[in-house]
Amino acid sequence: MDSLTIILTTIILHKLTNALDTATICNNDNACKCINNTVSCTTLAQDGVFVLPNGTEIVHFDNVPITIINNSTFANGKLQKITWVASKIKFVEALNHNDLKYLDLSRNNIIKLSDDIFYNCPCLEYVDLSDNQLNILSDNLFLHSSSLRTINLEKNIFNSISKNLFKHTINLQNLSIGNPNLTFLDENAMTNLYKLEYLSIENSGIRNLNQSSFGVHIYLYSVILNNCTHLTSIDNNFIGSSSNIKIIELNNCGTIESLPSSIVSLKNLQYLQMSNTQIQPNCQNGWFSQWFNNETTTVVGYEKYSNFIKTLNEINCPPTIYYTNSPITLQLTKKGIINCMAYGNPFPAFTWLIPGGLTFHENKQADVDIAHHPNIHNWDLNQIVSQSLLTDKNGSLHILRMLRTHIGNYTCYVSNKYGNSSKTVEVHLDSGVFFNIKINALLLGISSALGFLMLTILCCALKLLLKRLNCMKKRSQPTETEMGSTEKPKILPENV
């Protein structure tokens, strides 16, 4: 009896443990595949707890509907990657996965994320919450997520980005936030994202891109603004403070009232895409007509350019300087160009005031006040001939041979009958070369000094030697006066 019970219980127990062992999600043969540490399920109907094989690291669910993800959704597993898409998820509570690096919950119906969703995920690097129904983003959402590299919040319904949302995600490189309801970016909303490389605000309802929201992003290379149909202005400094931008996509954006002329200063720009986007023909955007024709720049798909230029040419514009390469540093005796790019209609006169007081004119007939001036003159309007400086038709000043006297502030003044404007360019001397020259001079000084010393020593030694020889000679035939005068030198050589 006793042994039978024991045997029976063992069998039952064994069956139970077996059942427990095998009761993982992997039993759903046709919906799930479990290979190595990865569990992939497609079109699986199961609610509640998902028991994973021990040691599962990667979960990939597609169309596995659930309403809420919470602390007890996954049993077992040390999850590093969770992909759970197109599954009608509505709520997500705290994810307690210490090793989680990657989370993709896109294409669900998420309307609410618990504030502490990521508090216990210190390793999180990638979050995709795009294509959901999020309308509020808590300031604390990424409070403990400083490891994040990529955040995708596209295609939700939130209206704004607060200044605190990305305050702690200082390692972020890739950010996508566009949605049609997004119209407001707080001041400083992105100023902490020093490492940002890729920024997409496409498909959003934003009107102005203000520098105050962005700050300085020296690594930013891609700015995606496609389909921002309400966009009218982009701050000059927004582009200007991210000097390494390579790609700007501005397709399908309606009419831009003010396109930032700082685009001209982007040395690494590969292309500016502008299909089905227009620039309003106004004086502020006039620079674009000069830049567009520059063969080194690539504007992709500005179909309406001829309309733009036609209307622009009919508008009288006072000149504005849109680009100077200030400050500039030149090497001694080398040549250099000081740029002053200006747009005005009619094309303006350029006047350069250079250190030392000389004045250079180019295209001076555009301004009646200076039309009678000599091309190059001094304070008294006396014509001067310059060997080392000249101007060209585009308004640039060329320094043919950099000298110390060329250091200083150069003022570019542009004028036509509708107005004038000016900017100052600082010209410096390459301090590296300057330093080298100084060092070289110093070395030369030292070596000459040493040489001189050596010569002196040699000379003295020779002199003393001679004198000694002289003395020895004289010892044989000493004279009263010579003895007295050579007494000291006679001792010295013996001590040397």
Ligand X SMILES: *[C@@H]1O[C@H](CO)[C@@H](O)[C@H](O)[C@H]1NC(C)=O
**What residue ranges bind ligand X (CB under 6 A)?**
20-21, 24, 35-36, 48, 53-54, 68, 70-72, 76, 94, 96, 135, 152, 157, 159, 173-174, 176, 180-181, 184-185, 197-198, 203, 206, 208, 210, 213, 227, 264, 294, 296-297, 369, 392-394, 408-409, 415, 419-420, 424, 426
Q: How far is the CB of 268 from ligand X (least distance, A)?
A: 10
The candidate with the shortest Cα–Cα distance to 201, out of 242, 154, 236, is: 154
Shortest approach of ligand X to residue 30 CB, angstroms? Answer: 18
The dihedral of CA 332, 334, 338, 339: what is its sign? Answer: negative
Residues 6+ apart with CB under 8 A from 492: 464
Is the CB of 95 or the CB of 471 nearer to ligand X? Answer: 95
CA distance linking residue 244 with residue 221, whole number of Å:
6
Q: Quick one: 226 exposed, middle or buried, by C-beta within 10 A (0-12, 13-18, 19+)?
A: buried
Strand partners, 328: 427
CB of 52 to ligand X, least distance (A): 7
**Token output for 9:** 């219980």
Residue closer to ligand X (CB basis): 167 or 351:
351
Angle between helices 487-495 and 431-476 (to 10 degrees): 120
Would residue 155 be called left, alpha or beta, if left means φ above 0 and alpha means ψ between -120 and 50 degrees? Answer: left
Q: Which is nearer to ligand X, 134 or 471 (CB)?
A: 134
Q: Which is nearer to ligand X, 198 or 271 (CB)?
A: 198
On the CB side of 331, CA atoms within 13 Å amount to: 5
User: Nearest approach, Cβ of 273 to ligand X (angstroms)?
Assistant: 13
Rounded to a whole number of angstroms, the minimum distance from the CB of residue 6 to ligand X is 23
Provide CB contacts within 8 A for 177, sequence distance 6+. 151, 153, 154, 161, 200, 201, 204
CB of 391 to ligand X, least distance (A): 9
Give whichever of 191 and 297 is closer to ligand X, judged by the CB atom: 297
β-bridge pairing 81-85 and 32-35: unpaired
Q: How far is the CB of 67 from ligand X (least distance, A)?
A: 6
CB-nearer residue toward ligand X: 411 or 486: 411
Tokens of 267: 């040395």
Q: How far is the CB of 85 from ligand X (least distance, A)?
A: 14
Return the C-alpha torsion angle 460, 466, 467, 472, nearest 10: 150
Residue number, 297 or 486, with CB nearest to ligand X: 297
> Is-contact 320 342, C-beta < 8 A?
yes
Closer residue to ligand X, CB minimum distance, 339 or 471: 339
